[in-house]
Structure formats: structure tokens, C-alpha cells
Amino acid sequence: MGFFIEVEDGVRYYVEDINPKGNKTILFLHGWPGSHKLFEYQFDHLPSMGYRCIGIDTRGFGNSDKPFCCYDYDTLADDVRYIIEKMSLYNITLLGHSTGGAIACRYMGRHHGYGISKLVLCAAAAPSLIKRPRFPYGIDKVVVDQIIENTYKDRPQMLRGFGDRFFFQHTSQAFSDWFFQIGLQAAGWATAFIAMTWINEVLFTDLESVQIPTLIIHGIQDQVVPFELSEIQNKMIKNSILIPFELSGHGSFYDQKDHFNKVLSNFIEGLDCA
């Protein structure tokens, strides 16, 4: 069922709570420029396995309110904390994809993992999506600058181009159109402001603060967040395991959805993920 939760500054977050009576809870944080709908193929199957799946739309995206401010990682992590408290969630798995993974990392550092027992990072944009002095990994800043410029110039065309690089496996035209429409749901300013966080934010300290069991899933063919960042995450988080998805791009939750769901459930149940 879907409903809204008003966070501290009055912004209403859209929340989808699937199988509320499930035995174990997974809170999903989507990536840019999507919404909770990106996890459709997890929501189709994981609840039948006994999981409670909660998807939220980040402010500015999906069905959530779209204010013209406050898209920094601190605010977005605080929003997650407020929702967790409001829903009385505890001992849950926090799963973040791409920018959602970055927000999950900031949540762990800023809120000391409140309510979280396991962490899953999927193609996470951490510790820095762009290359920096003394950090020669990730993508060039000019790539992000171009995304921001194109967002303000012709956002639909920018989204089309981004969608073409998102998945590694073949998708139908209908699926491509569906993905495109999810991106269009976002506000243009929110789309640009979140892209700016990739330049302004770093998560080195946040990653080092993670103490709980962590699963890292990353597609080897990822053209959005380079696979090498997952290897760095694996080194920085002591209690972590990295599972490379050989036939996946940035969207492993669809490229290899059955394998993704199996690895995720095995991790939550304490079984072998390899």
C-alpha cells in the first residue's frame, strides 16, 4: 500500500509498503533519476519469500514532494532516519542503489546505522563518483558537468541517453519507454541538484564507519559507476563481501534480476552469497 510521510521540514515522502507482515524488512533507496519503481522485479518476488519490502521516493523524485532546496546527502540521510523512526523500523536491511547507495553510506556515518542490521550497496556512487586529487578513480568531472548542462538544456534527451547506458542486457522498447517515464517524473531542478552532489559530496569517512555486515553488488559492465569503486568500498568496509555481476551494467536488479534476488536473500538469511 502507498502513503505519505511528512519529514521534519514538511516535505512529503511517498512510501510503498509491500507485505507489511513480512518476517524481515528491506528498505530500498533508489538511484538517480528514478523512483522506488525501479525495484519492481524485487517487489514482484521477495514478498512471496516472506520479506517486507519498503520503497521510498527521494524528495524531488517519483511521487514525493519536489521542493526547490535541500538535496545534500545530510538532508537526504536525515529524511531516511525520520521515516525509519516514524515507521518504527528496527533490525532491518538497508539497500541503496547508485546515489541511493551514497545516501545509505551517509546514513550509516551520520546516524550510526540506527535501526539497521545489514547494509546492501548496489552500484553505489561512493566514496566519490568523480576523480579527485589523490583519488584517481571514478569518472571525470566533465561528464557530470555535461549531465547537469543537458538537464537544463534538454532533460528528456539527456534521460534517453542515460537510459541507453544504464543496462547491459537487451531491453525492449517498451521497457526503455517505461524507464524513461520514471525519470520524467522527477523535477528538473531535483535532477540537476542531485547530479551536483556527485561533485560536492565525498563519503570516505562514512564508509569507514560501517561496522555491520555489508553486501556489495556491482555489475562489471557498469558504464555509470565504474566497477573499481566497488573494490574500494570492499576494502574500506571491514565486514563486507563483494559479489561481481558479470552480465550486468548499472541496473543489476534487472540485468540479472533472478541472481540479484537470490544473492540478496541469501545474504539476509546468512547463507553463502557466492
Active site residues: 98, 222, 250
Determine the Cα–Cα distance for residues 259 and 217; give it in Å rounded to an integer: 11
218, 242 Cβ separation under 8 angstroms: yes
Question: Cell for 16?
Answer: 510503498
212, 113 Cβ separation under 8 angstroms: yes
The angle, 0 to 180 degrees and rounded to 10, between the axes of the packed helices 188-200 and 99-110 is 60
* Amino acid present at 41: Y
Residue 177, CA distances (Å) to 79, 96, 268, 271 in order: 30, 24, 33, 37
Question: Cell for 43?
Answer: 517487489
Give all strands (DSSP E) within 166-270, no chain letters. 214-219, 240-245
**Nearest alpha-carbon partner for 245 in 156, 155, 168:** 168
- For residue 221, how many other CB atoms are within 10 A of its CB? 17
126, 101 Cβ separation under 8 angstroms: yes
List residues bridging with 130 in a β-sheet.
139
Determine the Cα–Cα distance for residues 163 and 122; give it in Å rounded to an integer: 17
CA 47 to chain centre: 19
